[in-house]
Amino acid sequence: SNSIVEEFYAMEYGPAPEDPKEVERWLDAHKRSFGNYIDGAWQKPASGEYFATNNPATGDKIADVAQADAADVDAAVQAARKALPAWQALTGHQRARYLYALARQVQKHSRRLAVLETIDNGKPIRESRDIDIPLVARHFYHHAGWAQLLESEFPGYTACGVVGQIIPWNFPLLMFAWKVAPALAAGNTVVIKPAEYTPLTALALAELADEIGLPPGVLNVINGDGRTGALLVEHDDIDKIAFTGSTEVGRIIRKATAGSTKKLSLELGGKSPFIVFDDADMDSAVEGLVDGIWFNQGQVCCAGSRLLVQERIAEAFYAKARARMETLRVGSPLDKSVDIGAIVAPVQLERIRALVDQGVADGATCWQPQSTMPQKGLYFPPTLLTGVHPTATVAQEEIFGPVLAAMTFRTPSEAIELANNTTYGLAASIWSENINVALDVASQVKAGVVWVNSTNLFDASCGFGGYRESGYGREGGREGMYEYLEPAWGHERAKQKRPAKAASTKEDDANANVSDTIDRTVKQYIGGKQARPDSGYSFPVYSSDGRVLGEAPLGNRKDIRNAVEAAHKAEKWAKTAAHTRAQILYYIAENLIQRRSEITSKLAEMVGKDQASSEVECSIDRIFTYAAWADKYDGSVHNPPMRNVTLAMNEAIGTIGIICPTEAPLLGFFSLVMPAIAAGNVVIVVPSEKYATLMGDLYQVFDTSDLPGGVVNIVAGRPSELAKTLAEHDDVDAIWCFRDPADATLVKAASVGNLKQVWTNDKYEIDWFDSNQNDGRYFMRHATQIKNIWVPYGE
């Protein structure tokens, strides 16, 4: 008397293997040996060195691939440089035609690309066929559109030039598309290095680019491991580096590019929370979880690798999750009915094992389903670690495998605290049937991407990228395009080679001249109060004809630390209504107007009458500009081809250290500080030492403008020294340094601790008096970071 139900549960999946014949044929046609694709041709490596790329599911070698050395990297960069002028001379429409052609070509060859991806990477064919490759095509289509609209949508912007790109192995062709499509759409030429475990689909795509007649040198693909990547990063003739990979290598690249003017974007790791409230639709949340952590074997930078579940439902939720895990099939990635494929490489499998062992040693309970595992190949079962302590290694470090670390919370605020309790900030997934709770949590998690009642959704129209140590820059959408563009005026200025400025000697005699006879001694401005410098020292500030105008405080690390602390206490400024921030900026302008003549005459002693009055007048205008922007620099709403809307919110970055320029002491100050605070940031400002006493006159302007204490903090002293301290400080989220190129190098190198965003003037100087450059958008963009919140919408 077998019931239908019993029959149903007794049914076994049969294997449904995908046929790899076409791919085998393609590999054979290439004699299973690949060179580098440089200047439109396949070239053998200069060194003659090759490495093997293996199938992680079987351990078999698939092909030999060239290891590019310095000569190959140089040849590729030269080819890209040579191809640049003609590529840039094309209209946006002409470049769009190439990108459309590539998109179509990807669609025509989608099955072959999917199978090749699965063989090289180990991911299930269902994923490469239904997710990776369709998204690759979508990315080229979408960016063909940006190429078409470039002139009208990005007026005044131009391509960076030659771009070096380095990508990881977890989504080999998708990351290739994410990098190459916007770069080419914007008019750059490219040298890209795929990951050494998974080079094959990039090479297949280079072949497709060749077939559609993409001009030689526009796209160059070089192969190799980290050594090749390092050579590309260090090459002199590269204008921009874009990297996706581990945070560790991100730090190396930040350091390696510190002494250059290369633009940099980093998309790094994550430890993203998957937050389940007790009113969530549990079945949907469990399905989301499967996608969140077991998609691509968990080798996903934005994987929902930390499950935070509300205490009341924790046991019930774990039980449902375990039951679902029992049904996940681990096995040959070419089998269409397999959910979890192979781990990319032996070292990664070892790393996952070691981290799970560590988790258990640290007190977590490890659960894995009973389902059988293949005997051969690099497999790891879906794994649930419960009772994980929030500070345990498995709760803090990226495992990059099918391993979920679970912990519980009681209240929404505890959930937010746990969610933000890592150094990362890539993504978050929030499950609740209560839209108020979900959106309230969305606004408070530190993450570049937030999915409400959904997870791992990607689209070319929506920006993707992290907060904090998950990197900076966005990929996709309008914001992703800006990563491959720069203002045309900046480009022009960069071409007029700037002479390196002599280091200031004023600093050296800063405290040589300590004088107690001068009564005009200015203090630091910290937390809305005037504060004596910790050092007890001050330094003289001179007029343009050499008279001592007054004494400025000589700040040190302690003053900076105090200022950062005060700034942190004022961070609710970001939550102050934009309308209120705008009003306060208008007050600042009004109060500056009140003191206009006094400040003008003081500044005149330093920089001369003409400059002084134009600095003051321009400053007033500038403050009005940012008061106007404060409640207008809105985000946007995207309409991706899913049942979602994506709210792209411009959020404050947090605490910004600002090192002021010397050339326009007052105007430079306001041109930087105003957009920062208009956007909701709090700042620590280091004025130019030559004019530091001028700041004393601004304290009253701020005090009488209702600006909350701590939003603007001013610490004078030796700028290079203070810049370094700010750059090293882990509670500072960004640093803007507008002094000598040497200072730019210094802050970039010192910023690696928490990978803070860095903005410097070493490539091109801003003309503070030019209202076109200072119309606001360019500055507001630097003062904000975009959070993309995906919300279910419509049927």
Q: Contact between 298 and ligand NAI (CB under 6 A)?
A: no
DSSP 168-207: -SSSHHHHHHHHHHHHHHTT-EEEEE--TT--HHHHHHHH
Nearest CA to 331 out of 270, 392, 383, 372 is that of 372
Subset of 139-178 contacting ligand NAI (CB under 6 A): 166-170
Alpha helices in 397-522 (DSSP H): 412-419, 435-444, 477-482, 488-495
Q: How far is the CB of 654 from ligand NAI (least distance, A)?
A: 22
What minimum distance in Å lies between the beta carbon of 170 and ligand NAI?
5
Question: How far, in Å, CA of 306 to CA of 404, rounded?
Answer: 6
Residue 212's Cβ-count burial label (10 Å; 0-12, 13-18, 19+) is middle
- Choose, by CB under 6 A, the member of 117, 398, 551, 689 that binds ligand NAI: 398
> Do 788 and 648 contact (CB within 8 A), yes or no?
yes
Based on the shown chain and the rule CB under 6 A, indicate whether residue 245 belongs to the binding site for ligand NAI. yes
Q: Nearer to ligand NAI by C-beta: 72 or 335? A: 72
Q: Which segment (96-104, 206-214, 227-235, 601-609) binds ligand NAI by CB under 6 A?
A: 227-235
Q: Given the rule CB under 6 A, which of 81-89, 188-196, 683-691, 768-776 is the region that contacts ligand NAI?
A: 188-196
Of the pair 142, 193, the CB lying nearest ligand NAI is at 193
Instruction: Name the segment binding ligand NAI (CB under 6 A); options: 213-221, 243-251, 452-460, 782-790.
Output: 243-251
- Nearer Cβ to ligand NAI (167/219): 167
303 interacts with ligand NAI by CB under 6 A: no
As given in the structure block, the two tokens for residue 551 are 């004494």
Choice between 244 and 524, CB closer to ligand NAI: 244
Identity of the residue, 305 or 671, whose beta carbon is nearer to ligand NAI in the bound complex: 305
How far, in Å, are 280, 387, 417, 589 from residue 409 at the CA level?
14, 11, 9, 46
Supply 245's token pair. Answer: 């990979």
Q: Which residue is nearest to ligand NAI (CB)?
A: 229
672 lies in the site for ligand NAI, by CB under 6 A: no
- Pick the piece of the chain touching ligand NAI (CB under 6 A) from 13-21, 246-254, 364-372, 565-573: 246-254
Question: Is 186 or 253 the residue whose CB approaches ligand NAI more closely?
Answer: 253
Which span (193-201, 209-217, 278-286, 446-454) binds ligand NAI, by CB under 6 A?
193-201
3-state secondary structure 370-386: CCCCCCCCCCCCCEEEE
User: Does position 697 bind ligand NAI by CB under 6 A?
Assistant: no
Q: Does 258 interact with ligand NAI (rule: CB under 6 A)?
A: no
Q: Which of helix, strand or coil describes residue 165?
A: strand
Distance from C-alpha of 505 to C-alpha of 562, rounded to nearest angstrom = 27
Question: Which residue in the set 63, 119, 195, 780 belongs to the binding site for ligand NAI (CB under 6 A)?
Answer: 195
What DSSP designation does 91 have? -
When asked if residue 226 is in the footprint of ligand NAI (CB under 6 A), the reply is: yes
User: Should residue 723 be labelled a site residue for ligand NAI when binding is judged by CB under 6 A?
Assistant: no
Nearer to ligand NAI, 169 or 768 (CB): 169
Cα separation, 494 vs 261, in Å, equals 10
Q: Least distance to ligand NAI from the beta carbon of 393, Å?
A: 13
User: Using the rule CB under 6 A, is 230 a contact of ligand NAI?
Assistant: yes
CA distance 73 to 54: 24
Q: Least distance (Å) from ligand NAI to the CB of residue 359?
A: 15
Which residues lie closer than 8 Å to 468 by C-beta, 6 or more apart? 423, 424, 425, 446, 733, 754, 755
Minimum CB distance to ligand NAI, residue 301 (Å): 3
Q: Shortest CA distance to 378 belongs to which of 341, 414, 326, 413?
A: 341
Taking the complex as a whole, how short is the minimal distance between the CB of residue 252 and ligand NAI, in angstroms? 5
Please say which residue, 470 or 681, places its beta carbon nearer to ligand NAI: 470
Least distance (Å) between residue 781 CB and ligand NAI? 24
423 makes contact with ligand NAI (CB under 6 A): no
User: With respect to ligand NAI, which residue has the nearer C-beta, 87 or 379?
Assistant: 379
Instruction: Provide, rounded to whole angstroms, the least separation between the CB of residue 151 and ligand NAI.
Output: 33
Q: Which amino acid is at 377?
A: G
Enter the tokens of residue 392.
């345990």
Question: Binding marks (x or -) toward ligand NAI, 320..359, rule CB under 6 A?
Answer: ----------------------------x--x--------
Residues touching ligand NAI, count (CB under 6 A): 26
As a whole number of angstroms, the distance between CA 518 and CA 551 comes to: 7
Give the neighbor-by-neighbor strand order of the sheet with 365-367.
365-367, 383-386, 403-409, 306-310, 273-276, 427-431, 449-452, 784-792, 644-652, 636-638
Count of C-beta atoms within a 10 Å radius of residue 421: 17
Q: Is position 269 an interface residue for ligand NAI (rule: CB under 6 A)?
A: yes
Asked if residue 252 binds ligand NAI (CB under 6 A), the reply is: yes
The residue (of 105 and 296) whose beta carbon lies closer to ligand NAI is 296
97's enclosing H/E stretch is: helix 92-108
Quote the CA–CA distance of 33 and 77 in Å, as a whole number.
23
In the complex with ligand NAI, which residue's Cβ is closer, 257 or 461? Answer: 257
Torsion region of 159: left, alpha or beta (phi above 0 gives left; psi -120 to 50 gives alpha): beta
Residue 301 as a binder of ligand NAI (CB under 6 A): the answer is yes
DSSP letter, residue 741: H
Is residue 267 annotated as part of the catalytic site, yes or no? yes
9 Cβ contact list (under 8 Å, min separation 6): none
Query: Which residue among the candidates 18, 127, 234, 267 is catalytic per the annotation?
Result: 267
Identified binder of ligand NAI from the candidate list 249, 289, 648, 791, rule CB under 6 A:
249
Sheet holding 41-43, edge to edge: 41-43, 36-38, 219-221, 189-193, 162-166, 240-244, 263-267, 471-472
* By CB under 6 A, residue 400 contacts ligand NAI: yes
For residues 405 and 306, the answer to whether their CB atoms sit within 8 Å is yes
- The residues carrying an active-site annotation are 267
Residue numbers at the binding site for ligand NAI (CB under 6 A) = 166-170, 193, 195-196, 225-226, 229-230, 233, 244-246, 249, 252-253, 268-269, 301, 348, 351, 398, 400
